[in-house]
Structure 1
Amino acid sequence: MPTCDVCGNTYDKTFTLEQAGRRGTFDSFECAIQAFAPTCAHCQCRIIGHGIEGEGKIYCCAHCARHAGLKGVADRA
């Protein structure tokens, strides 16, 4: 039976994700998020939505992006 790369759980319903040459086996989306989701450059939370990119960094929301000094960003257009 496959083993989760993050938590080490042996599980018969694991799945594999592949992104930009990285590959991982996981037993839950929670573990996959910990391994693959980017981290907000301001608050360090995992970004599981679209996020906001600016000046080479990614933020979880407009609030964090503005706090980091980005201008003209909004969560809703």
Structure 2
Amino acid sequence: MARCDVCGNDYDKAFQLIQADGTRGTYDSFECAIHAAAPRCEHCRCRIIGHGAEHDGRFFCCASCARHAGVEGLDDRV
């Protein structure tokens, strides 16, 4: 069994997540993996689970949050 890096649960179905930069984590659920690996929106601080929006290295959950943070030119729809 493997221990979750977030909650400490020792679970027989734990999995590893390897990010592009080589960072690794062991998790017992997608919930814990999201908590550890998903970026936060710079404006509202929610976890970005979908594609979100990025501008100049800043991450946002949506174009509305990007606009509130002063970013122009991002749209949720094309």
SS in 2 for 1:40: coil
Say if 2:27 is the partner of 1:22.
Answer: no
Gaps spanning 5+ residues in structure 1: where?
none
Instruction: Please report the TM-score for the alignment, with normalisation by the length of structure 1.
Output: 0.95
2:57 corresponds to: 56
Residue 56 of structure 1 deviates from its aligned partner by 2.2
Gaps spanning 5+ residues in structure 2: where?
none
SS in 2 for 1:48: coil
Residue-pair matches, total: 77
Runs of 4+ in structure 1 over 3 Å off: none
Residue 73 of structure 1 deviates from its aligned partner by 1.4
Distance in 2 of aligned mates of 1:48 and 1:23: 18
Residue 55 of structure 1 deviates from its aligned partner by 2.6
Residue 53 of structure 1 deviates from its aligned partner by 0.8
Instruction: Please report the TM-score for the alignment, with normalisation by the length of structure 2.
Output: 0.94
Aligned-residue RMSD, C-alpha = 0.8
1:35 corresponds to: 36
Distance in 1 of aligned mates of 2:23 and 2:57: 21
